[in-house]
Chain A
């Protein structure tokens, strides 16, 4: 049994005016095994954020199923959904989504406080995380005192402190410069090496080349996938670029046909 199974997922956005809806996801199926590091790529508007929002239980699909550890997410009741999300999933967003009113420490603690954990337990969990992410010095600072990379690492710590089955990330390097991106991806790799399953949506070929597997999304469907295997980052980079070129020119051909 896979950790995460997505079967025939469909999502139609109906406009309020009642016009024809946008079919953001047509028929998406894939599986993620425990301990994988998967990147999802695709053009703007191909449905990446939509997919991630459904996996995150922030949105409901129009059709198809999402199974986490064999449990159908559609069977989770609406009012248990928040707790389900808190206990199983961790998120990292492009624009960090830290709360200005809290220190770094309290931002990280937030999900645990909401889950009603004791202060001692929170502290116990915090220590190894801050060490791994290198933010031990920043704990008493406020978000407006941090750089972008530091903010994103704080956000990762917040996502991981609940020890989620999967870490979901929507363009985590989107707001970072190349150096900060590189160090963030290194963090992802080392987390993955320790067994953390990661699913990351990205526009950046560099970012995707750090993953063990890359899925390509086009027009609401899985178009292709690449396994990194034993290839180096450089080789992977070239391979992904090729696939993207074929995919975009392919869409041009389709347009003519």
Chain B
């Protein structure tokens, strides 16, 4: 009887024993599961189905769920690999103490079971708790009213359990496979294997340089928005390859070059840092590159979707005009004033406030005049005074339109405006060919909610990527802290003061931290011309706004990143000073 629960108990014990490493693993697993549940919940929410124009959002959410699931798989595999490497010594010890590999396998099985239970159970609980919050956020973003009630769609629960059950099963099998292949002595050595000094890999550095340059070149030179979309993916792949190669090989090259400079190298501040970084750059490079790529993903997704959302009013204006609008074809420039007077009167009578009043005369020689495109900037800024085209020619049409309150009934307003314009037309002094007045709330709303959906998905995935970056940073710092304990002890024995230890740690950590951030900001800037073009496909051509959104995103991200830095640096210092 007692033998039966030996492994479950041992598994629980070793999870607790490795708390520093297991806790973030469990936490990130649970958060990923919660996020998958929530996005599925939104995708299946009947309340949202009922909303007007929600189809586009629903599709986006489905796509988002797929990304969350795949990304969770990658994240969990990565952190699990990390965890297993850390624990090799412990498993090796069990092995030496007489546990056979199949026993170790049983231990891993129980650990996997507990992990899955905690992550899926905790994740579902967290997801259900947060689901209403996400629903509120989504509805606020796409500016609709929130559906009533609280529901827990069984399908969402099922899919989450299946997806994460699958992920953890796969992880377990992978661990088992790894366990089967290693020799006991390797198990024991584990993390301690003396890391050799890395060689400079010229070829890799060169490949990195070329791919990186190519990626940036593509981004900067592309002109055609439709081609930009295709090129975007090529450039992303090139830059990812370039980032990995340069971080892995380029960093070693730079550090070695610095070390060659004796005057620079043999200074208390640089001496320990430089060799410390060089020593672990082989692993560091890939980790830093991953952090950099994740940060770039966060920055690009959030800045573009934020820009789409912030510019939605303008985009919709240039695509659909104003919410109520009147065209008067023919006649002269004086029609503008007259129609505007009708608008003012009707709005006043009905007590509706008009926003973004736009009124202009379009002059053109040819009837095919592509006035929509030409008028886009007017809708952007709500200009009332100007004319479109060459005012020495003939008036092609006069445009007057405005947006109104969310609660206003645009249909009735349109009828009132129509009759007002008709009255105007019955006046013989009013010259015109034909007029028409319309309202366009339905289409506008569809477009609105898809832009809002983009923004929501951007935020959602952005925070997932951010969590992954945080996790990787944390694991990196903590494991390096454990590796560095001895080095710092020795250095203190040899004559390093506490203060020097502290400042050495600080400069080393901050370099490791801010290098990826800097590179990510560079990538975001490099992608700017290309993403700007892609945004024009959505009707957004406001470079200033996009620049502002990117800047704001980078700043906020930098603040969050800095907080993480402070936290992990403290953890690292606490480990090292023991």
Instruction: Mark A residues whose CB is within 8 Å of B.
Output: 58, 79, 82-83, 85-86, 91, 93, 97-102, 106, 109-111, 113-116, 118-119, 122, 142, 144, 158, 162
Contact B496 A119 (CB under 8 A): no
Contact of A113 among B194, B267, B276 (CB under 8 A): B267
Minimum C-beta distance from A168 to chain B (A): 11
CB pairs A–B below 8 angstroms (12 shown): A82-B498, A83-B497, A93-B493, A99-B487, A101-B280, A110-B494, A111-B495, A113-B266, A116-B267, A119-B266, A144-B194, A162-B495
Contact A114 B268 (CB under 8 A): yes
What 8 pairs across the A-B complex have the smallest Cβ distances?
A86-B495, A101-B279, A144-B194, A82-B497, A101-B275, A97-B490, A113-B271, A119-B262
Instruction: Mark B residues whose CB is within 8 Å of A.
Output: 194-197, 262-263, 266-268, 271, 275-276, 278-280, 487, 489-500
Tell me which residues across on chain A come within 8 A of B495, comparing CB atoms. Answer: 82-83, 85-86, 110-111, 114-115, 162
Known: A98-B490, A114-B500. 11 other contacts (CB 8 A): A82-B492, A83-B495, A86-B495, A91-B493, A100-B195, A101-B280, A101-B487, A102-B275, A116-B267, A119-B262, A122-B266
Tell me which residues across on chain A come within 8 A of B195, comparing CB atoms. Answer: 100
* Residue on B nearest A81 in the bound complex, by CB: B497
Minimum C-beta distance from B473 to chain A (A): 21
Contact of A111 among B494, B497, B499, B500 (CB under 8 A): B494
Contact B494 A86 (CB under 8 A): yes
Tell me which residues across on chain B come within 8 A of A122, comparing CB atoms. Answer: 266
* Residue on A nearest B490 in the bound complex, by CB: A97
Contact of B278 among A101, A114, A119 (CB under 8 A): A101
CA distance A111 to B498 in the complex (A): 15
Minimum C-beta distance from B368 to chain A (A): 73
Contact A110 B491 (CB under 8 A): yes
Minimum C-beta distance from A154 to chain B (A): 12
CA distance A236 to B490 in the complex (A): 35
CA distance A113 to B275 in the complex (A): 13
Tell me which residues across on chain B come within 8 A of A110, comparing CB atoms. Answer: 271, 491, 494-495
Tell me which residues across on chain A come within 8 A of B496, comparing CB atoms. Answer: 82, 114
Tell me which residues across on chain B come within 8 A of A98, comparing CB atoms. Answer: 490
With A101-B276, A101-B279, A116-B268 as contacts: A144 and B494 at CB distance below 8 Å? no
Minimum C-beta distance from B365 to chain A (A): 76
Minimum C-beta distance from A146 to chain B (A): 11
* Residue on A nearest B259 in the bound complex, by CB: A106
Minimum C-beta distance from B268 to chain A (A): 5
Contact A109 B266 (CB under 8 A): yes
CA distance A114 to B491 in the complex (A): 9
Tell me which residues across on chain A come within 8 A of B498, comparing CB atoms. Answer: 79, 82
Tell me which residues across on chain B come within 8 A of A99, comparing CB atoms. Answer: 275, 487, 490-491
CA distance A85 to B493 in the complex (A): 9
CA distance A109 to B491 in the complex (A): 12
* Residue on B nearest A118 in the bound complex, by CB: B266
CA distance A111 to B263 in the complex (A): 16
* Residue on B nearest A58 in the bound complex, by CB: B493
Minimum C-beta distance from A88 to chain B (A): 11
Contact A113 B492 (CB under 8 A): no
CA distance A225 to B240 in the complex (A): 70
Minimum C-beta distance from B269 to chain A (A): 10
With A100-B194, A119-B263, A119-B266 as contacts: A158 and B494 at CB distance below 8 Å? yes
Minimum C-beta distance from B274 to chain A (A): 9
Q: Which of A82, A83, A162 has the most CB of B within 10 A?
A: A82
CA distance A102 to B195 in the complex (A): 12
CA distance A100 to B191 in the complex (A): 14
Tell me which residues across on chain B come within 8 A of A93, comparing CB atoms. Answer: 493
Contact B276 A114 (CB under 8 A): no
Tell me which residues across on chain B come within 8 A of A86, comparing CB atoms. Answer: 494-495
Tell me which residues across on chain B come within 8 A of A144, comparing CB atoms. Answer: 194, 196
Contact A114 B494 (CB under 8 A): yes
Tell me which residues across on chain A come within 8 A of B280, comparing CB atoms. Answer: 101
Tell me which residues across on chain B come within 8 A of A82, comparing CB atoms. Answer: 492, 495-498
Tell me which residues across on chain A come within 8 A of B268, comparing CB atoms. Answer: 113-114, 116
CA distance A71 to B343 in the complex (A): 97
* Residue on B nearest A90 in the bound complex, by CB: B494
Q: Which of B279, B490, B494 has the most CB of A within 10 A?
A: B494
Minimum C-beta distance from A85 to chain B (A): 6
Tell me which residues across on chain A come within 8 A of B262, comparing CB atoms. Answer: 119
